[in-house]
């Protein structure tokens, strides 16, 4: 190929960057509009549809994500009481954490808001190990609804409480307001008498020029500058360490371990919270 023709092709490829820039601008505009105008009901419905159709969350799918992450394995081994302690898992998805903890000997009660995922877990885990599956959002606590038509309602008020808990991978960041996050932590504080493991999306402390523009738009729409929307993950709130500490304190909890995702062994920022009276 002549040099001049090769250079023309190279320039054409370089010019195609405008496609990426255009998509990025459209994606950011869509995110801002959804954050500003979509109701909580719409956001919840979107999350249920999105995660319900993602086969990596279905326990019977060959693409199901299995096993604990290294940071989960290490944190649970360090802070959780030994089996057969009772563990409550919220935002359980397709049961990734559920099956591992049950196999370790824990007695697991789990729930997820997505009807299809809760039903899939209930069918897949039926009669296996010591697992109970329900359908509920964090704001539904203490009520956990049946995942299958022939199952029964559970009320956390009726039990003797749990020894530890897990808020499913990143699910804390799907809570839309600070009030919801405090209420969720307060609910876990009420029914869990031991360590609570949560993971979340990382706060962007040093936004770029584009990020500053988005922050201006979100301020105009009265949205938190650390709120985002993606067609792949739905609504996401990037959590600041100080914000998590304040929410924990208002919920009667104390952070005893915090990893903000700055080390090579952590795929997700995470923390362990315990009731202040046993900290």
Domain boundaries, the chain: 40-203+240-278
Higher pLDDT, 57 or 261: 57
Q: What pTM, to 2 d.p., does this model score?
A: 0.84
Give the pLDDT score at 40: 85
pLDDT in tens, 96-109: 999 999 999 999 99
Give the pLDDT score at 262: 65
Q: Is the pLDDT of residue 206 over 50?
A: no
The pLDDT-based confidence of 213 (bands split at 50, 70, 90) is very low
Which whole number is the average pLDDT over 43-56? 86
The pLDDT-based confidence of 69 (bands split at 50, 70, 90) is very high
Identify the architecture of domain 40-203+240-278 in CATH: 3-Layer(aba) Sandwich (3.40)
Give the pLDDT score at 36: 83
Contact present, 266 and 72 (Cβ < 8 Å):
no
* 185, burial (CB in 10 Å: exposed 0-12, middle 13-18, buried 19+): buried
């Amino acid at each position: 190929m002549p040099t001049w023709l090769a250079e023309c092709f190279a320039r054409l490829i370089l010019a195609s960057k405008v496609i990426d820039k255009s998509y990025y601008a459209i994606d950011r505009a869509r995110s801002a509009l959804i954050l500003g105008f979509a109701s909580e009901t719409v956001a919840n419905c979107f999350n249920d549809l999105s995660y319900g159709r993602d086969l990596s969350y279905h326990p019977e799918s060959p693409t199901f994500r299995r096993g604990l992450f290294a940071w989960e394995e290490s944190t649970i081994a360090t802070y959780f009481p030994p089996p057969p302690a009772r563990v409550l898992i919220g935002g359980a998805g397709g049961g990734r954490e559920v099956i591992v903890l049950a196999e370790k000997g824990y007695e697991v009660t789990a729930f997820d808001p997505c009807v299809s995922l809760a039903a899939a877990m209930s069918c897949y885990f039926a009669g296996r190990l010591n697992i109970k599956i329900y359908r509920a959002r964090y704001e539904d606590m203490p009520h956990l609804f049946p995942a299958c038509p022939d199952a029964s309602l559970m009320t956390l008020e009726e039990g003797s409480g749990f020894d530890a808990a897990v808020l499913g991978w990143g699910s804390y960041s799907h809570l839309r307001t600070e009030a919801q996050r405090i209420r969720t932590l307060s609910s876990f504080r009420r029914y869990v008498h031991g360590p609570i493991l949560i993971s979340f999306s990382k706060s962007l402390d040093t936004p770029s020029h584009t990020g500053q523009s988005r922050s201006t738009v979100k301020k105009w729409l009265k949205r938190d500058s650390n709120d985002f929307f993606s067609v792949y993950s739905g609504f996401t709130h990037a959590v600041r360490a100080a914000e998590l500490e304040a929410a924990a304190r208002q919920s009667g909890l104390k952070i005893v371990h915090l990893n903000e995702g700055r080390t090579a062994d952590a795929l997700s920022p995470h923390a362990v919270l315990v009731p202040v009276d046993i900290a």
